[in-house]
Amino acid sequence: MRNVWNRDPYRWYKYKKDWKAIIGQFRLDLRCCRQRITKGYCEKDLWSIRDWFLDVVPDMLEEYKKSRNGSPGILGENYKNEEGFLVNDTCHGEWDRILDEMIFLFREADERQCRCKNPYEEEHSKAFSLFMDKYGCLGRN
């Protein structure tokens, strides 16, 4: 999960010797820490909910997979063991496969982590550059 305390703005403000901006950034980071403690998210997370969601959910699913105490009993097959008790121990493996697939798909939904690249990305970039050269920002020249 992205950290509230990102060092890049501090480095940039220090390079520009803008001490007021450093203090402002520090106050924003403190406010975001308090918001994460009280609400579970902060205003920086709201700037891009998609990125926040795709950062948090796969990590939560991995942690859940490591620390869970059981699996849905509807998965797997019920059978009777040697003592005659009804047992379903195959549900754990099936639930692990489902969680692995969910984690994989959430990671693939994030463009920053996706293994597959768009085959039309270069063509789109060229068309966009031509449009911007011809019409400018917002289609106005």
Q: What is the pLDDT of residues 91-118, one digit of tens each?
A: 888 999 999 999 999 999 988 888 888 8
The pLDDT tens digits for 51-95 are 889 988 999 999 999 998 888 878 878 888 788 877 777 888 899
Q: Are strands 79-80 and 86-87 parallel, antiparallel or unpaired?
A: antiparallel
pLDDT attached to residue 140: 67
One domain, residues 68 and 4: no
One domain, residues 71 and 97: yes
One domain, residues 116 and 65: yes
87 phi and psi, to 5 degrees? -130, 145
One domain, residues 36 and 56: no
pTM for the predicted model, two decimal places: 0.63
Distances (CA, A) of 111 to 27, 39, 114: 31, 27, 5
pLDDT attached to residue 125: 92
State which residues form the domain around 14. 1-47
One domain, residues 63 and 97: yes
Domain count, the chain: 2
One domain, residues 41 and 55: no
One domain, residues 42 and 54: no
One domain, residues 120 and 78: yes
